Chain A
Amino acid sequence: MVSKDYSNVISKIDAVAEKIYEDFQNTEIPYLQLPTRTKSNIKFDEKFNVWKYGKNTTERTAKSLDGAYMLLRTMYMADFIKEMIKIKKSSTLREMYYISEGWDLAKFHSQQESNLLAEDLEVITSCMREDFKLRPEEDGARVMGNLTIEEMTRNNTKKKIHCQDDVGDAGYSIPYNVEPEKITFKSVDADFIIAIETGGMFDRLAENGFDTTHRAILVHLKGQPARSTRRFIKRLNEETNIPVLVFTDCDPWSFRIFASVAYGAIKTAHISEYLATPASQYLGVTPSDIENYDLPTDSLTKEDINALKSELTDPRFQDSYWKGEIKLQLKIGKKSEQQALAKYGLDYVTDTYLPEKLAEMGIIKK
């Protein structure tokens, strides 16, 4: 592998330490400023067509005990990352959490805390987690379709993998690093990419040979998609110009999955331009589908209703399409799953539902 140049990362990390150090020297109470990472502070970025953090900032200051702890942990994490770069190692987020056990006062109380701080550090330094040599725990999901990927293996050799011929029923597994130095797309012969929420539906489409019959690239999202999955979809879309369709359950949580693929997630809005695929379209299952296809349903729970209402004020869902669908769902009070389509038989989704929807969206001809 061509070893990456980390000097830029190191100088960015050192800049954080310098900021704190200078605060001490200028007899200022040390603080760090970062964008507020909430729903209320995401703005649409015209340049990238994605949602990014707005102008609101939060201050982490040593004036309060919590703030001081946060600064101390930030310093320890920064130092740890520097050290990893120096000795050419990487660690998982979970490993870093355990390593923090030895950080005395700066140790974390939960991995949630350390994960959030790693994101904070990304935001502060405008680096990516990958620059910090931090890996997520979860791997990327699976891919199947007429696509050849060249992957740099552990042995530093390039290996070509065809995502139908060279893989088993489970498909090609997306690695955590999907940057060009790791994978490149060699040949692609497909009409669209279909990103699927559940493993069950991915397997249904694979078993029914949908990738072949409809010239599709199937990507499994595995629920809320990992960064690498989103980055993979983005690169594939931008490098090959094939449309992306998102196929999920019909509930507020699935709509958020779509939003994170298409617009950028709130938590990672600082790197939306790397992760989001603005060209993605939502295929279904839509609240309208519930009515049109007369799908089996469950009633919305209190949490579902609150999530839907919250989406009505989420800047990412402010177009008429989403407002209409969300209001419709609130009105019918029902939700449904992708796999509810099996009501009409195992082939119904590949023979009827998807072709109808794809035609409706102008992806394929009727």
Chain B
Amino acid sequence: MNTFIITFSITAPGCKILPTKEGYILAKVTAYDLAKKQKEISVAEFFERNKHILGFGNQTRALITSVKEGVDNGLDACEEANILPDIYVEIKNREDGECKLIIEDNGPGVVKKQIPHIFGRLLYGSRFHAIRQSRGQQGIGISAVVLYGQLTTGKHAKITSKVEEDRPAVVTELAIDTNKNRAEVIARDTVHWAKPTGTRVEVSIIADYKRGKRFVYDYLQSTSIVNPHAQITYKEPDGAKHIFERTSEALPRKPAEIKPHPYGIELGTLIKLAKHTKSRKLSTFLKTEFSSMGDRTTNTAIDKANLEKNLDPKIMTREQFLALHKAFKKVKIMAPSTDCLSPIGETLIKRSLKYETQEISPEFIITSSRPPSVYSGNPFQVEVGLVYGGNLPREGAVRVMRFANRVPLLYQQGGCVTTSAISSIDWRRYGLDQTSGKGIPTGPAIFLTHISSTLIPYTSESKEAIADIPEIENEVKLAFRECARKVQHHIHKKVRRVKTREKFDLITRILPEIAKKSAYMLDKPVPSLDAVITKIMDVVWIEDLIEYVKVSRKPVQTTLIEESSQDHEGGTITKSKIMIVNYKCTPQKFNLYAVIPEDAIVGTAYPKPSKIANNYIKWNIGTIHPANKIDVNFELAGLEKGDFDENDLYIENINPAYVIGADKWEGD
């Protein structure tokens, strides 16, 4: 293969080398010569030419891309069939640089007939046309791995698949006919496989395991963080086994397919849609094939394009399409519905991060989620997370973990919109170091960004960096700002907590001692302290405690919320206990709010709340007399231990300066 490349490089453009008896001569290339070469280029050639942008540019990348395609494939298959994914990844490394990659899932399996198409043909599948949030946008699929393996090692891929529990598994040995882009079945066999259903892919590839080792681990760990419903097992060549545990038993909501939005459609796609539509009128075509197109917008768009609404879309000219395409941009069209997205959710991101950063024992993990938004007619949603402190290195840049549609992005961090968004925030205000208030900050933190979209706007085909779309950059910025504010709030609260702890120490331990000692020295009875304590504290003091109780039965539900979940058999009950002491010298009454995660279910709450909203509980706290105390308790179900690890309390109808342990309620 090397000689082939050298031959090219010494040939002058437009010349060819002709072997003669005397040796080689340089001759002019004729059209006839070219015609001989002008055949359909093989997939192998296509692959060879484009391997950089396909993610097989070097032997390290090739390894990670192969793992990624295999894992994506497995996760997709499982989710499609509503099965909680159990992915097994194994790498066997040989001295000569050949790796054997085994990826196994517990998905529905692939029927025998489809195996050659899915694993032995490039660019095959239904995903290309659907508009919905999917991992599939990421690469060119598992068949590319099979092809890469065949090209580099000459070995065939082995696919084992089982589609029904009581039937044997089918083992297929595949090769790709690179000229025809067709799979060749080399051998087929049936075997016993303990798994109920599933797929196992074995491919030999040339890869640099030594250099790729860390990346593979990182990739799988990252994948596990944004796919909390999946369990991933990774076995390294030396036998070391890593299990990235499942932290959520709930499958993510299936992203819905949506119709294209006029703002985001390309001219070519518009023409293609028109050719295939069943509508016979332009107006019906626009209303049925696009999202957000009502009567009025449709008519305005057609008017602006100077077209007839009864025009048959199938016979429209290129100029007419162009006019229509231009007109779309001039019309105010409602944003597409965003419920087609399937974000991970704050609670799950937090839980995943918590699980994966256990060894770091971070000081806190904070997440923030933006409402869905739209760029050029494409819905997208930003979620971010921040891990701070613990054993994270104090020096060096903050680690940024980037994700798009639940897939980790490992390369080209510098060119990604998330990086520029993070860089434009002045992190010095939030306690991180940053040279001149710009760029990636330094400090003991990890940042996570996850962008879900029906169309992730990558900067290039390698799909490693997200393009500089102002709407996305803005959303990422807003999300991080919110996160940073929460960090500030958290730190502020911690400092205040230390201070109140001191005061509490003072009044509960030191002051009584002073009183006792003075009484002892004078041989008098110990004086009463209540009034002095009230004077010293001069606040309403709120302290809270969170406990987790494992339950085996369905948690007791009050009827405060209609949709009290019935399927929460067992699990953990989060118990929050709030103690309010009035250390002011006058009676106090106020409203108390406890913010709760939206995915939590409120169980017993005492005293009876005056309102339970989906993200908070409100109490009207009756009059508390000086030196008196009130306990407020509530229980949350539907959360894992640690999901809710800090009460977020707010007060209303009282001077916030009177209260320690809660902030002013700013409204819902």
**A and B assemble together:** yes
- Measured CB to CB, the residues of A under 8 A from B are 13-14, 17-18, 20-21, 23-25, 27-30, 62-65, 68-69, 71-72, 75-76, 78-79, 82, 104-106
A-B contact pairs, 9 of them (CB 8 A): A24-B527, A24-B528, A28-B532, A65-B502, A68-B510, A71-B514, A72-B513, A75-B518, A82-B521
* Interface residue from A13, A23, A105 paired with B513 (Cβ < 8 Å): A105
**Of all chain A residues, which has the CB nearest B526?**
A24
- State the CA gap A28–B511 with chains docked (Å): 12
Question: How far is the CB of A76 from the nearest CB of chain B, in Å?
Answer: 7
* B residues 499-543 touching A (CB-CB < 8 Å): 502-503, 505-506, 509-511, 513-515, 517-522, 524, 527-529, 531-532, 535-536
| B contact residues around A105 at 8 Å (CB) | 509-510, 513
- State the CA gap A65–B511 with chains docked (Å): 10
Decide if A68 touches B532 in the complex (CB within 8 Å): no
Contact flag A65-B505 (CB < 8 Å), given A71-B514, A75-B514, A105-B513: yes
- State the CA gap A24–B522 with chains docked (Å): 14
Residue with the highest number of chain A CB atoms closer than 10 Å, among B511, B521, B531: B521
* Interface residue from A14, A28, A65 paired with B506 (Cβ < 8 Å): A65
Decide if A17 touches B518 in the complex (CB within 8 Å): yes
| A contact residues around B506 at 8 Å (CB) | 62, 64-65, 68
| B contact residues around A20 at 8 Å (CB) | 514-515, 518
Count contacts on B: residues with CB < 8 A to the other chain.
24
- State the CA gap A28–B510 with chains docked (Å): 16
Contact flag A65-B503 (CB < 8 Å), given A21-B524, A21-B527, A27-B532: yes
Secondary structure of the B contact surface, majority rule:
helix
Secondary structure of the A contact surface, majority rule:
helix
| A contact residues around B509 at 8 Å (CB) | 105
| A contact residues around B524 at 8 Å (CB) | 21
Question: How far is the CB of B579 from the nearest CB of chain A, in Å?
Answer: 21
**Of all chain B residues, which has the CB nearest A76?**
B517
Contact flag A72-B527 (CB < 8 Å), given A14-B521, A24-B532: no
Contact flag A17-B522 (CB < 8 Å), given A25-B527, A72-B514: yes
Residue with the highest number of chain B CB atoms closer than 10 Å, among A20, A24, A69: A24
* Interface residue from B502, B505, B522 paired with A21 (Cβ < 8 Å): B522
| B contact residues around A106 at 8 Å (CB) | 513
| A contact residues around B527 at 8 Å (CB) | 21, 24-25
- State the CA gap A30–B533 with chains docked (Å): 11
**Digit string of B224-251 for contact with A (CB within 8 Å is 1, else 0)?**
0000000000000000000000000000
- State the CA gap A76–B521 with chains docked (Å): 10
Question: How far is the CB of A19 from the nearest CB of chain B, in Å?
Answer: 9
**Of all chain B residues, which has the CB nearest A79?**
B521
- State the CA gap A87–B471 with chains docked (Å): 83
* Interface residue from A14, A24, A65 paired with B529 (Cβ < 8 Å): A24
- State the CA gap A343–B377 with chains docked (Å): 95
Decide if A75 touches B521 in the complex (CB within 8 Å): yes
Decide if B532 touches A69 in the complex (CB within 8 Å): no
| A contact residues around B513 at 8 Å (CB) | 72, 75, 104-106
What total count of A-B pairs have CB within 8 Å? 75
Decide if B521 touches A78 in the complex (CB within 8 Å): yes
The list of the 4 closest CB pairs from A to B, nearest first, reads A27-B531, A24-B527, A75-B517, A17-B521
- State the CA gap A62–B510 with chains docked (Å): 9
Decide if B521 touches A68 in the complex (CB within 8 Å): no
- State the CA gap A21–B440 with chains docked (Å): 59
- State the CA gap A24–B525 with chains docked (Å): 12
Question: How far is the CB of B331 from the nearest CB of chain A, in Å?
Answer: 67
| A contact residues around B502 at 8 Å (CB) | 65
| A contact residues around B518 at 8 Å (CB) | 17-18, 20-21, 24, 75
**Digit string of B130-169 for contact with A (CB within 8 Å is 1, else 0)?**
0000000000000000000000000000000000000000
| A contact residues around B503 at 8 Å (CB) | 65
| A contact residues around B514 at 8 Å (CB) | 20, 30, 62, 68, 71-72, 75
Contact flag A27-B521 (CB < 8 Å), given A72-B510, A106-B513: no
Given contacts A63-B536, A72-B510, 14 further A-B contacts (CB under 8 A): A13-B521, A17-B517, A17-B522, A18-B518, A21-B519, A24-B515, A29-B535, A64-B506, A65-B502, A65-B510, A68-B510, A68-B511, A75-B513, A79-B517
- State the CA gap A28–B535 with chains docked (Å): 8
| A contact residues around B517 at 8 Å (CB) | 17, 72, 75-76, 79
- State the CA gap A15–B559 with chains docked (Å): 64
| B contact residues around A30 at 8 Å (CB) | 514, 532
| A contact residues around B522 at 8 Å (CB) | 14, 17-18, 21
**Of all chain B residues, which has the CB nearest A64?**
B506
Residue with the highest number of chain B CB atoms closer than 10 Å, among A68, A104, A105, A106: A68
- State the CA gap A224–B38 with chains docked (Å): 104
| A contact residues around B535 at 8 Å (CB) | 27-29
**Of all chain B residues, which has the CB nearest A75?**
B517
**Of all chain A residues, which has the CB nearest B504?**
A65
- State the CA gap A30–B531 with chains docked (Å): 12
* Interface residue from A23, A68, A71, A79 paired with B520 (Cβ < 8 Å): A79
- State the CA gap A136–B536 with chains docked (Å): 37
Residue with the highest number of chain A CB atoms closer than 10 Å, among B506, B518, B522, B536: B518
| B contact residues around A24 at 8 Å (CB) | 515, 518, 527-529, 532
- State the CA gap A13–B521 with chains docked (Å): 9
| A contact residues around B520 at 8 Å (CB) | 79
Question: How far is the CB of A103 from the nearest CB of chain B, in Å?
Answer: 10
**Of all chain B residues, which has the CB nearest A69?**
B510
Question: How far is the CB of A22 from the nearest CB of chain B, in Å?
Answer: 9
**Of all chain A residues, which has the CB nearest B538?**
A63
- State the CA gap A68–B529 with chains docked (Å): 14
* B residues 475-514 touching A (CB-CB < 8 Å): 502-503, 505-506, 509-511, 513-514
| B contact residues around A68 at 8 Å (CB) | 506, 510-511, 514
- State the CA gap A69–B505 with chains docked (Å): 11
**Of all chain A residues, which has the CB nearest B499?**
A65
Question: How far is the CB of B318 from the nearest CB of chain A, in Å?
Answer: 81
| B contact residues around A63 at 8 Å (CB) | 536
| A contact residues around B521 at 8 Å (CB) | 13-14, 17, 75, 78-79, 82
- State the CA gap A64–B509 with chains docked (Å): 13
| B contact residues around A21 at 8 Å (CB) | 515, 518-519, 522, 524, 527
| B contact residues around A75 at 8 Å (CB) | 513-514, 517-518, 521
Question: How far is the CB of A10 from the nearest CB of chain B, in Å?
Answer: 10
* B residues 382-431 touching A (CB-CB < 8 Å): none
Decide if A62 touches B531 in the complex (CB within 8 Å): no
| B contact residues around A13 at 8 Å (CB) | 521
Question: How far is the CB of A207 from the nearest CB of chain B, in Å?
Answer: 54
Question: How far is the CB of A266 from the nearest CB of chain B, in Å?
Answer: 29
| A contact residues around B531 at 8 Å (CB) | 27
- State the CA gap A13–B505 with chains docked (Å): 27
Decide if A62 touches B511 in the complex (CB within 8 Å): yes
- State the CA gap A17–B520 with chains docked (Å): 9
- State the CA gap A27–B511 with chains docked (Å): 13
**Of all chain B residues, which has the CB nearest A71?**
B514
- State the CA gap A68–B536 with chains docked (Å): 11
| B contact residues around A25 at 8 Å (CB) | 527
Residue with the highest number of chain B CB atoms closer than 10 Å, among A13, A14, A29, A106: A29
- State the CA gap A133–B200 with chains docked (Å): 88
| B contact residues around A78 at 8 Å (CB) | 521
